[in-house]
Amino acid sequence: MSLPAERAQNIARVLIEALPYIRRFSGKTMVIKYGGNAMVDQRLKDGFARDVVLMKLVGLNPVIVHGGGPQIGALLQRLGKASEFVQGMRVTDSETMDVVEMVLGGLVNKEIVNLINRHGGSAVGLTGKDGDLIRARKLMLRRDAPELAVPEIIDLGHVGEVESIDAEVVHMLVGGNFIPVIAPIGVCDDGLSYNINADLVAGKVAEVLQAEKLLLLTNTAGLLDQDGELIRDLDVARVNALIDSGVIQGGMLPKIRCAVEAVQAGVKAAHILDGRVEHAVMLDLFTDEGVGTLIRPRAPK
Ligand SMILES: Nc1ncnc2c1ncn2[C@@H]1O[C@H](COP(=O)(O)OP(=O)(O)O)[C@@H](O)[C@H]1O
Ligand SMILES: CC(=O)N[C@@H](CCC(=O)OP(=O)(O)O)C(=O)O
């Protein structure tokens, strides 16, 4: 493989320009949540895989946690089953759980692994069952409303939350130069599978690994305010006000909650960004302020 001299010089210039950024993040862990809504078309998927491979090659440690909500919905529809969500969480009966496990642990996980490997990386796919990575407990949602004397408890079936993460298998893979690709399926003490929102898993994985950054790739420019304008930067105190006023709804609720919990538990920063933008991950790394919405533990002084 050989390049014309002028092209080689241009590449060298760009790499040298990138050096301070690469040095800043070298050896650091980046947890990237790749949402089902960001897996739009082949060009974007290829771009994502190339970014991840490049990150690894320059010394960062990317760890991928993926979703696949739209992909689960599509298969359920083919099977004649409707999708129902409460506060951004899929109501999951045992038949739906089988579909979730097949789509996330099978189709989507292996598609991402294959994509990264085809672009020159070494990815290994896991669900929370592999290496006992994700222990889950049943999630009981609370609904508070003025007309309710006591909060309503909503049972969503096989929907879980993270009880604990045993990251040994992740450390082993990262140490062996692999890129872990994690599907958000947990297992509880009695061996039952639980469907966990991928944002929640990504936040907990970032916490346990004490990641430098948690990047949440989705299908909006970031968190939008009541006028649809991008909020570039917010601290934990403002998040609650935005939830109470109804600005943050649906799938954005677990996303923002997990980002807040992660930064409160020691992750340096969380970003919600548009995965439909080409090279979104690199854009985030190579700009001081990042792109999308930055969530930090407290407002800058
Ligand atoms: N304030 C908000 N800003 C941006 N998106 C919001 C907001 N409130 C609700 N949403 C919704 O949240 C969605 C992202 O969540 P979700 O569909 O679960 O994405 P993903 O599959 O990437 O996790 C957006 O597409 C949007 O419809
Ligand atoms: C409990 C719950 O809602 N689980 C999600 C898991 C997948 C996911 O989170 O996918 P995205 O990130 O693409 O939305 C679901 O069943 O859709």
DSSP 96: H
195 is in an annotated binding site: yes
Best of 64, 90, 140, 205 to mutate for ligand 2, by most ligand atoms within 8 A of CB? 90
Residue in this structure with the two tokens 């083919």, named with its chain if needed: 78
Q: Which domain holds residue 176?
A: 26-296
43 is in an annotated binding site: no
Q: For residues 234 and 298, what is the distance between their CA atoms, to the nearest angstrom?
A: 8
CATH number at residue 201: 3.40.1160.10
In a domain, 17, yes or no: no
In a domain, 8, yes or no: no
In a domain, 78, yes or no: yes
pTM of the model: 0.93
Distance 249 CA to ligand 1 centre (A): 7
90 is in an annotated binding site: yes
Number of structural domains (the chain) is 1
Q: Could you tell me which residues come within 8 angstroms of residue 298 by beta carbon, excluding any fewer than 6 positions away? A: 235, 236, 237
Ligand 2 pocket, residues with Cβ under 6 angstroms: 35-37, 67-69, 72, 89-90, 100, 159, 184, 195, 197-198, 251
User: Per-residue confidence of the chain (301 residues) as pLDDT tens digits?
Assistant: 788 899 999 989 988 988 888 888 889 999 999 999 989 889 999 999 999 999 999 999 999 999 999 999 999 999 999 999 998 899 999 999 999 999 999 999 999 999 999 999 999 999 999 999 999 999 988 887 777 778 888 999 999 999 999 999 999 999 999 999 999 999 999 899 999 999 999 999 999 999 999 999 999 999 999 999 999 988 888 888 898 888 998 889 889 999 999 999 999 989 999 988 888 888 877 776 668 999 887 766 6
